Amino acid sequence: MEKIIAYFKSAWAEIKKVSWPTKKETYNYTLLVIGISLGTAIFLGALDALFTVGLTALIK
């Protein structure tokens, strides 16, 4: 039982050391992730369309 208590005490001590992002940083990081995700989706969609057109032309 002592090991479990010691584990939780040390875990809580580590959580206190964490540098949590501010509300503005969280907002900016969220927008960055959404932007990169949309950019990647558009890029992969364009590649898919290009390969589809190319493969269709090659088959015909």
**CA of residue 16 relative to chain centroid, distance:** 24
Mean pLDDT of each 10-residue bin along the chain, 60 residues long: 94 94 97 98 98 94
The amino acid at residue 22 is: T
Structure tokens at 28: 């900016």
Question: Which pLDDT score is estimated for 44?
Answer: 98
Question: Which pLDDT score is estimated for 60?
Answer: 86
The CA distance from 31 to 58, in Å, is 40
23 neighbors 15 (Cβ within 8 angstroms): no
